[in-house]
Each structure stands twice: as C-alpha cells, then as structure tokens.
Amino acid sequence: MLSNLQPQSPDKILALMAEFRADPRAEKIDLGVGVYKDETGLTPVMRAVRKAEERILREETTKTYTALPGEPAYREAMARLILGDDLPVDRLATVASVGGTGALRVGIDLARMANPALRVWVSDPTWPNHVSILNYLGVETLTYRYFDAETRGVNFDGMIEDLRGAKPGDLVLLHGCCHNPTGANLNIAQWDEVAALLAETGATPLIDLAYQGFGDGLDADAAGTRLIASRLPEVLIAASCSKNFGIYRERTGILLAICPDSATRDLAQGAMAHLNRQTFSFPPDHGARIVTTILTDPELRRDWETELEEVRTGMLDLREQLVRELRERSGSDRFGFLAAHRGMFSRLGATPEQVETLKRDYGIYLVGDSRLNIAGLNKNTVPVLAQAIIDVGI
C-alpha cells in the first residue's frame, strides 16, 4: 500500500537549513530559516523561560491529561497578551494548539466545517506553509497583491482592489505583524481601511500572529489585530509562542475565535475542541505552562519583556547598521527600505541567480525569494553582507 505514495516536494527553507549545516566553510552566514539568533549565533533559552521551567519542575504535582482545548489559565493569559485586557469574553472561543501552525490548521478546518466551499485569500507572497496547508486540504486559494517589488513596501492600493473580491464565507489571511517573507507591514491607518473593507465584504479575517514583540513592541505589534477584533463581528486569530518566548520545539500556540454572539461562541468552542480531539486529542502542555507561568508572574513577566525588547531592538540596530553600510558602498539610499521593514525578515529584491551567487561564492545563505533573516547577522557580518550585496550587483 505505502508504495503507492507519491514523493513530496521538500520544504525549501528547511532544505536550505540542512544545506547550510553541511557547508564546511567557516565564514558561512545563515540568513535562511526564521529562527532568532543572538550575536554569537545561538538561539538562547530566554531567562524567564528557564526560571519558569525550574519552577514547574519543582512545583508540578501531576502530568495527567489537561483539558481538550488546553488549560483555561493559558488561554486567558494568551487572549490578554494578544487582545489586551478588554476581552470580548462572551464572544470569545479559544483552543491551545500545536504551535502557531497547529492553530492555523485548526482555524482553517473550523472555517471549512462551517463552509465546505471555503475560499481563502492569502497575500502575494506569503509564508509557503500557508499555501501548502491550504493545497493539502484542497481549499480554494486566492491571492491578493501585497508586496510592491519597486518600493519594497506594501502595494496597498492593489491589496484593497483585490480584497474587494472577497465575499461572506471567505477567509482573508492577514499577517498580524512582521510579514513573512517580505518584512513590509500595514500602518494603523491601513489596518483601519482593511477593517472597513472586510466589514463591507462580509469576509472573515484569519490573522496569523507569529512575531508579536519582534517588530515595534508587544502592544504595537498587536495593534492591527486589536483594531480588527474591535470592528468586526467575526475574527480568527492564530498565534504562535515559538518566537517571542523562544520555545520553538515546545510547539505552543493558540487559536482565538471572536464570534458574532455568545450562541455562536458556544458552537465554535465545541467545534474547536472537537477538532483538537480529531487531530491530536489533548494539546501539548509544557510550553503552554511555561507561557502561563511567565505571563501571570509579575517578576518573570518583566524579565521576559525586557529580554524580548533586547531581542527586538538588537534586530533594529542591525537593520540600521546594514542600511548605513549599504549607503556608504552604494552612494545611494536605495536600501533604506531595510530600516522600514519590521521583524526578522526582509525581502531584498535580488534575482534567484544573485541569491545563488551569494551562497556559492560568499557562503551567505538567503531563501530563494531573496528573504534574509536579519537575526542571522551580527555587527561583524553586516559589513560582509553589505559588500557582497554590492559585489553581486543587487
């Protein structure tokens, strides 16, 4: 039976990660996979995470099953982190998930249960796993214009024009902040316009929030999501704790569903727990417990916020330095967009051949679409990258 299987195309980002590891060159620079790295190239365990784990180890009395939708304390703490303290409690359904990806998957499944003819709008470009999950599920996928290759900013007019084609029963997948792979984001006035347009079309937003705290700060990065949540009757939010808590392998995420009324909330809550049960039964708890411990303890929370802020501003400093080094070498401001982008990623706008040359001749690894991970740089490698960018003629 299994011999009937068809080969699957590999995840290009993960394949690049393996290629980098196998590269013997000492001077190689990994700007591929979206994992935060400090100036020594390590992805550290955050201080508050370690302390929370020590506390859990000391105080945990059982590892018996939790609840199907995950621990209520986790779901409440995360809902507050994302939406702020003014929660629409009567309209809010929540389930803990297997990472942000699991939340996306359950969110799409939920929408498909409600509408078997579901269509999903994704930005052009978007995170490749969005498209691969939708294709796997056989869900019709439409794209809306997003990245302006000329300005390396958002093609907002194109986005709005395309999203006018959305209709009730469609999902519109939006990146809450730190767009992956481009780094180009909506400003709050643009979020406002998107909210108005979604209200007009009757489509339901699905917000992917995987980098809260990596762009402009914890609250600023949630501002678009909160605006949408306050304006629309129905909103899905798939959030990840992988990056902002640095707990990638613990697989910690959450799906929030804001519903038009409390009766719908009860239906959605039941359906979301049902989907967990059909897929993996109880969600993983260790990462969720770490997050709950940190968010509900003032001292741990302060320490986490401080460290996250160091991570965020460190990436901004690298962006500024890169723009400076490129300005000196190019004699122009044409790379200024790198300082306007937010989060770990920027799309450089290089050709596939230039990306290949950077890898082959310089040992600098970017994703094929010329996405680079700013966190893969440090003060010493920024000038190396800047020189290579000029040398290959980007």
Task: Give me the residues that bind ligand PLP (CB under 6 A), please.
Answer: 34, 99-101, 127, 180, 208, 210, 240, 242, 248, 253
Q: Indicate which of ligand TYF, ligand PLP, none lies near residue 285 (CB less than 5 to 8 Å, by partner kind).
A: none
Using DSSP's 3-state secondary structure scheme, residue 167 falls into coil
On whether the CB atoms of residues 129 and 175 are closer than 8 A, the answer is no
The residue type of 372 is: L
What residue 176 binds from ligand PLP, ligand TYF, none (CB within 5 to 8 A, per partner kind)? none
* Region 155-184 residues binding ligand TYF, contact defined as CB under 6 A: 180
Is residue 239 close enough to count as binding ligand TYF by CB under 6 A?
no
Q: What is the CA radius of gyration of the chain?
A: 21
Residue number of the CB atom closest to ligand PLP: 99
Contacts of 255 (CB under 8 A, 6+ apart): 94, 95, 97, 103, 106, 107, 110, 236, 237, 238, 239, 272
Instruction: Please indicate whether residue 261 is annotated as part of the active site.
Output: no
154 binds ligand TYF (CB under 6 A): no
Q: Is 243 a catalytic residue?
A: yes
Question: Of 30, 48, 166, 243, which is the active-site residue?
Answer: 243
Q: Which residue, 205 or 253, is less far from ligand PLP as judged by CB?
A: 253
Residue pair 336/348 in contact by the 8 Å Cβ criterion:
no
Residue 292: partners with Cβ closer than 8 Å, 6 or more residues away:
71, 73, 74, 77
By rule CB under 6 A, what count of residues binds ligand TYF? 8
DSSP 269-319: HHHHHHHHHHHTSSPP-HHHHHHHHHHHSHHHHHHHHHHHHHHHHHHHHHH
Beta bridge partners of 140: 119
In the bound state with ligand TYF, the residue whose beta carbon lies nearer, of 183 and 283, is: 183
Amino acid (1-letter code) at residue 41:
G
Q: Which of 30, 121, 127, 238 is catalytic?
A: 127
How do strand 170-175 and strand 119-124 relate by DSSP bridges? parallel
Is 257 catalytic? The answer is no
9 exposed, middle or buried (CB, 10 Å; 0-12, 13-18, 19+)?
exposed
Catalytic residue at 208?
A: yes
User: With CB cut-offs between 5 and 8 Å by kind, which of ligand TYF, ligand PLP, none does residue 276 bind?
Assistant: none
Picked from ligand PLP, ligand TYF, none, the partner binding residue 348 (CB below 5 to 8 A depending on kind) is none
Q: Which does 392 bind (CB under 5 to 8 A by kind): ligand PLP, ligand TYF, none?
A: none
Minimum distance, C-beta of residue 323 to ligand PLP, in the bound complex (Å): 23
Q: Are 146 and 123 in contact (CB under 8 A)?
A: yes
Q: Select from 36, 74, 127, 147 the one that contacts ligand TYF (CB under 6 A).
A: 127
Is residue 15 close enough to count as binding ligand TYF by CB under 6 A? no
Helix-strand-coil percent breakdown of the chain, rounded to 5?
Answer: 50, 15, 35
Binding of ligand TYF by 129 (CB under 6 A):
yes
Residue 96, Cβ density class (10 Å: 0-12 exposed, 13-18 middle, ≥19 buried) = buried
Q: Which of 10, 11, 140, 187 binds ligand TYF (CB under 6 A)?
A: 11
Q: Which does 325 bind (CB under 5 to 8 A by kind): ligand TYF, ligand PLP, none?
A: none
Stretch that binds ligand TYF, among 10-18, 199-207, 346-354, 375-383 (CB under 6 A): 10-18
**Shortest Cβ distance from residue 253 to ligand PLP (Å)?**
5
Quote the strand ranges of the chain, DSSP E.
Answer: 29-30, 92-98, 119-124, 140-145, 170-175, 204-209, 235-240, 252-258, 345-347, 364-365, 371-373
Give the nearest distance from C-beta 17 to ligand TYF in angstroms.
8
CB of 11 to ligand TYF, least distance (A): 4
Q: Per CB under 6 A, does 33 bind ligand TYF? A: yes
Q: How far apart are CA 227 and CA 217, in angstroms?
A: 16
The least CB distance from residue 345 to ligand PLP, in Å, is: 8
**CB-wise, 69 or 107, nearer to ligand TYF?**
107
Instruction: Give the residue numbers annotated as catalytic, written as ranges.
Output: 127, 208, 210, 243
Binding interface with ligand TYF (CB under 6 A): 11, 13-14, 33-34, 127, 129, 180
